[in-house]
Amino acid sequence: MDYATINGVVQAVNLTKQLAKAAFDGKVDADAKAKIGEVVEKLGDVQDRMFNLRNDLHELQTERDELKTKLDAADAWERRASNYNLTQTLGGAVVYSSKGDPIHYACPSCFNKREIHPLQDNRTVSGKFRCTGCAAEFPVKPKHKVTAVPTTHHWND
Ligand SMILES: [Zn+2]
Alpha carbon separation from 15 to 1, 42, 53, 130 (Å, rounded): 21, 14, 19, 71
Averaged pLDDT, 11-33:
86
Q: Are residues 55 and 109 in the same domain?
A: no
* Structural domain harbouring 127: 84-139
* pLDDT tens string 48-103: 999 999 999 999 999 999 999 999 999 999 999 999 999 999 999 999 999 999 99
Would you say 86 and 96 are in contact if contact means Cβ atoms under 8 Å apart?
yes
CA of 66 from ligand 1 middle (Å) equals 28
Do residues 22 and 34 share a domain? yes
For ligand 1, the distance from its centroid to the CA atom of residue 82, given in whole angstroms, is 18
Confirm if 13 and 47 have CB atoms less than 8 A apart: yes
**Ligand 1 mean position, distance from CA 9 (Å):** 56
pLDDT digits (tens, 9 = 90+) for 105-143: 999 999 999 999 999 999 999 999 999 999 999 999 998
Q: Please check whether residue 151 lies inside any domain of the structure.
A: no
Determine the distance separating the centroid of ligand 1 and the alpha carbon of 116, expressed in angstroms: 8
Q: In the structure, what pLDDT confidence band is assigned to residue 150 with cuts at 50, 70 and 90? A: low
| Domain identity same for 60 and 89 | no
